[in-house]
Amino acid sequence: MNLAEKLPRDRYEENFAELHPAFDRNQATSEAHRCLYCFDSPCMKACPTHIDISTFIKKIATGNVKGSAKTILESNWIALTCAKACPVDVLCEGACVYNDRGEKPIEIGRLQRYAIDRYFEQGMPPLFTPAPKNGKSVGIIGAGPAGLACAAELALMGYDATIYEGKEIAGGLDTWGIAPYKMSFEDSLKEVKLVQGLGVKIKTGVWIGKTVSVPELERTHDAIFVGIGLGISPDLKIPGEDLAGVFDALEFIERVTTRRWSSVDVGKRVVVIGAGNTAIDAATEAKRLGAEHVAIVYRRGEQEMSAYGFEFDLAKKDGVVFHFLTAPKRILGPAGGSVETLECTKMKLGPAGANGRRPAEPIPQSEFRIPADMVIKAIGQKTSDSFLAQIPSVKLNEGRVVVNPESLQTSNPRYFAGGDCINGGKEVVNAAADGKRAAHGIDRYLFSK
């Protein structure tokens, strides 16, 4: 029996409780009244979707919560996920002028959530009227935030928008990837419903390139948006990767986000390889599932890790141990059996090269072992090269789809792209912004504007 099965249900609920609980009406109103309505709105500039933050906050302060939701959704169709999961400290709240005065910034994320939660609670009363049908049809590959935002915006402009999603449930990583203590699976599905409410058709269980071919898609639609995100982690290319107990971070996280907590295999001693936000999520989620000891192994130093400071702090608070300047060398366990130990090498950083990056080099004879019954690989996600190769003339650069930064049109004029597949893996808000921008790029292309 794995350790998770020993944890009672209510312990899981407690461990995965929301980090930032909802405001009630009084809290929201009083926080909204703190906003200074700055004339140059640095918060709005810092948001990739440029939500008119001062206006939506003002509407909350005056009790016009439905109007507030409308202001938010005009800029961002994925507003609930962004309210709950955006790294607000480095975006809108990080830009709030209160920071300059050494005071607490406005809690913009929680206010946004307040307005959008109320909107969903009221059953999504219609806020927008789609334009009459314009006779053009767009196929969207992927129902993640980029695809959903693109489809919603197109539907509003009168396009016939159909999303093709390989998985049985739409939402992309908002549904399958974001930590349950930030938002729930159900929150993401509310946004899917919102987009469907605008007339967007979503065909799930359809993998383009397998279930439906690329030429077939081209015959059906006037233009195509590619919002396929990224794939799983690449191989570590070290011995022992095939042992039982070695997992890809996304496969592990996907089971946690769907809240099938008691069925998730979690070891007593877990080692996560990598130090980005996904690695931190995997480590904190393993800890919250009941793992006794969780360590992160990263070949470079604390300064070089890509995880946000607040994610790092959360992992440390959860008791995750960090081994910086440490590279995995081999995973050990009996042939055909389960992982028992991770052998690592200590590393040192050399002088910075022309690109400013300090190369990590192994320190001879520095090997040591970390006992582990579970190893999670979280060293970044691979591009879906084999799928992208099926699209004629679409160029890639270092695994990213190359696009025109204004229109998000690819090197094949009928194709547009956005989200993780063009930026190599950023945030939901970037994908939401890209989807919307690409919809307008498609509109200009199809009507030669």
Ligand X SMILES: Cc1cc2nc3c(=O)[nH]c(=O)nc-3n(C[C@H](O)[C@H](O)[C@H](O)COP(=O)(O)OP(=O)(O)OC[C@H]3O[C@@H](n4cnc5c(N)ncnc54)[C@H](O)[C@@H]3O)c2cc1C
Residues near ligand X (CB under 6 A): 85-86, 141-147, 164-167, 172-174, 177-178, 182, 207-209, 227-229, 250, 253, 277-278, 281, 384, 387, 419-421, 426-429, 431
In terms of C-beta density within 10 A (0-12 exposed, 13-18 middle, 19 or more buried), how is residue 103 classed? exposed
In terms of C-beta density within 10 A (0-12 exposed, 13-18 middle, 19 or more buried), how is residue 14 classed? exposed
Residue among 253 and 403 whose Cβ is closer to ligand X = 253
Residue among 41 and 49 whose Cβ is closer to ligand X = 49
Residue 153, sorted as left (phi over 0), alpha (psi -120 to 50) or beta, turns out to be alpha
Q: What is the full DSSP assignment across 309-351?
A: HHHHHHHHHTT-EEE-SEEEEEEE--TTSB--EEEEEEEEE--
Least distance to ligand X from the beta carbon of 278, Å? 4
Alpha-carbon span 258 to 236, nearest angstrom: 27
Residue among 187 and 373 whose Cβ is closer to ligand X = 187
The answer to whether the CB of 261 falls within 8 A of the CB of 228 is no
Least distance to ligand X from the beta carbon of 449, Å? 25
Alpha-carbon span 189 to 407, nearest angstrom: 28
Residue among 183 and 243 whose Cβ is closer to ligand X = 183
Least distance to ligand X from the beta carbon of 47, Å? 12
Least distance to ligand X from the beta carbon of 279, Å? 9
Name beta bridge partners: 323: 297
Alpha-carbon span 267 to 261, nearest angstrom: 13
Least distance to ligand X from the beta carbon of 434, Å? 7
Alpha-carbon span 77 to 54, nearest angstrom: 18
Least distance to ligand X from the beta carbon of 71, Å? 21
